[in-house]
Chains A and B, each alone.
Chain A
Amino acid sequence: DTGVSQDPRHKITKRGQNVTFRCDPISEHNRLYWYRQTLGQGPEFLTYFQNEAQLEKSRLLSDRFSAERPKGSFSTLEIQRTEQGDSAMYLCASSRTTSGTKYEQFFGPGTRLTVL
């Protein structure tokens, strides 16, 4: 299976701790997105990479959040000093830039974060 993978699938942490999530996109995809999905809501856009460049960040992404995509391959999303309001499912998606298919985003299984 060469789909989008995310690690870990579940993370339980205490308030104030730092957490880091990883996303491995489909290998030929140069675009990578992070979304956050809270209970009863649709996913909300957090940030977007094209290759290694982070091109847009949502205002939802406070200064406690940082994302990287070194070498334009996998990406990490770090949350510092976690708060209970950070509890959510964090989804990663990737897409390619080839005309005709660039609009389809392929999603990973998500990382469910619980902050106690």
Chain B
Amino acid sequence: AQTVTQSQPEMSVQEAETVTLSCTYDTSESNYYLFWYKQPPSRQMILVIRQEAYKQQNATENRFSVNFQKAAKSFSLKISDSQLGDTAMYFCAFMISGGSNYKLTFGKGTLLTVNP
């Protein structure tokens, strides 16, 4: 079974600064995907960024980037130039690739508050 651990229940950052959210996972699978999802207050969850495990290059999406360390089973999210709209719950999630299900296994989440 796969597990995803987010060790930071809450974090805060000043507007325009950079923040890094941590995620570790445990799996015996070799082919998988990792995701960061954002859940704003009272709004639906949206995908922020995705990383394929077979790719060595870290994924980037505008102000969002990841540091993927496969051997360490670590997958952190860096948010640059933080904006007030980044305030949300952030979930790290895992998915086995090549299977028949594609279900997501989530961590408990990190509540990020961006302060003006």
Residues of A within 8 A of B (CB): 3-4, 31, 33, 35, 40-45, 48, 55-56, 91, 93, 95, 102-110
Q: Which of B12-20, B65-73, B75-83, B103-111 lies at the binding interface?
A: B103-111
Residue of B nearest to A9 (CB): B42
Known: A43-B106, A105-B104, A107-B37. 11 other contacts (CB 8 A): A33-B104, A40-B108, A41-B108, A42-B107, A45-B103, A55-B100, A56-B103, A91-B45, A93-B104, A95-B102, A109-B44
CB of A110 to closest CB in B, whole Å: 7
Interface residues of B in 7-61 (CB under 8 A from A): 33, 37, 43-47, 50
Distance between Cα atoms of A95 and B104 in the complex (Å): 12
Residues of B within 8 A of A (CB): 4, 33, 37, 43-47, 50, 91, 93, 95, 97, 100-109
CB of A3 to closest CB in B, whole Å: 8
Residue of B nearest to A6 (CB): B44
Distance between Cα atoms of A31 and B101 in the complex (Å): 9
Contact A103:B97 (CB < 8 A) given known A43-B91, A109-B44: yes
Residue of A nearest to B89 (CB): A42
- Which residues of the partner chain A approach B108 to less than 8 Å between Cβ atoms? 40-42
Distance between Cα atoms of A40 and B45 in the complex (Å): 15
Distance between Cα atoms of A79 and B37 in the complex (Å): 27
Distance between Cα atoms of A102 and B4 in the complex (Å): 21
